[in-house]
A and B are shown apart, each in its own frame.
Chain A
Amino acid sequence: MIVCVAVVGHQNNPLYLQSFTGSDDALKLHHIVHCSLDVIDERVNNPKRSASTLNETFLGLLYPTENYKVYGYLTNTKVKFIMVTTDLDVKDADVRSYFRKFHAAYVDAVCNPFHVPGKKITSNSFSERVGTIVRSFGPSMTL
């Protein structure tokens, strides 16, 4: 179950932050998202393997905390998508297809001529689409 999604701009400024559990956990989830930004920076600037993984968009599992897993995805414009989930046995393919749908929703939100790049995403239809994508995340997902 996804508990939090976030979109962070290329200067690490938050563009969209949404949590899907009760509000008492929201602050902790925001903090987890913030910490995972450091992990992303470290992955991007110091590639562990050869140059072939230098420009992959899907960053994979960033770090596991006590009962959450955090996944990251980096777009071509250095905009980062972060997803926090409580599932223990989530498959890689599921996460990749989730990020693909999320990227599609993000591109549509950015193509809005009234959206200023660098400002927060305020579109209601984007929030609804994200809600739908998050609700349909799970092992039964087909694309």
Chain B
Amino acid sequence: MIGVGKPKQYGNVLDKPLSRGRQEVSLSAFAFLFSELVQYNQTQVDNIAELERRLEDAGYAVGARVLELLCHRDKGNRRETRLLGILSFIHSTVWKVLFGKVADSLEKGTEHEDEYMISEKELLVNRFISVPKDMGAFNCGAFVAGIVRGVLDGAGFPAVVTAHFVPIEGQQRPRTTILIKFAEEVLRREARLG
């Protein structure tokens, strides 16, 4: 869980509690590390699409490991085989473990059958990032999109996941939407399972 706070200092190591302790990482440590990740990738690429792809690949590795870890920790004996099952798993469990809260909303796309959207008012990774105007529609949420893609791929639901800004009237900062587009075979399998 990512949260803000300083760990309590103990004078004597024998005074530390035996429990597992709060599973938190300081937000500022993560923000610095993430900004360094973005800056490092920026020096390696020539254009925006490549930068987004690299962030997504970094997120993919995280997503694969998060899936293994969470399935062992929380899920007991169940394995997700249904589309809605894996989507609600991402929307609540994965989000809660990574960002400390469930995602704001999960919607089904209206134009296409295979599109789903997870929306968030302000992605945690974007909190201390403002994108300069000349970078256009670049969104550091590509990292989170990569995480979602890693989880879906590991669970057997190949998909294309992207992050977009959706401007909302009445608010200065646009809302972020993670768009999930499932592959053909997932829909066919889902139809077959009934």
| A-to-B contact residues, CB < 8 Å | 10, 54-58, 74-78, 103-104, 106-107, 110-111, 113, 117
Contact = CB atoms under 8 A, between A and B. Distances in A.
A78 B69 contact: no
Given A55-B80, A55-B81, A76 B75 contact: yes
Nearest to B61: A113
Contacts of B154: 76-77
Interface in B89-109: none
Contacts, number: 49
Contacts of A113: 61
Contacts of A78: 156
B47 interface: no
Given A55-B78, A57-B78, A110-B64, 17 more contacts: A55-B81, A56-B78, A56-B79, A57-B77, A58-B77, A75-B68, A75-B71, A75-B72, A75-B79, A76-B67, A76-B155, A77-B156, A78-B156, A110-B68, A111-B68, A117-B61, A117-B64
A75 B156 CA distance: 11
Interface in B50-91: 61, 64-65, 67-69, 71-72, 75, 77-81
Contacts of B81: 54-55
Contacts of A76: 67-68, 71, 75, 79-80, 154-155
Interface of B: 61, 64-65, 67-69, 71-72, 75, 77-81, 154-156
User: Max chain B CB contacts within 10 Å: which of A56, A76, A110?
Assistant: A76
Given A77-B155, A110-B65, A103 B79 contact: no
A128 B71 CA distance: 23
Given A76-B79, A76-B154, A107 B61 contact: no
A132 to B, nearest CB: 18
Contacts of A106: 68
11 contacts: A10-B156, A54-B81, A55-B81, A56-B78, A75-B79, A76-B67, A77-B67, A77-B71, A77-B154, A77-B155, A117-B61
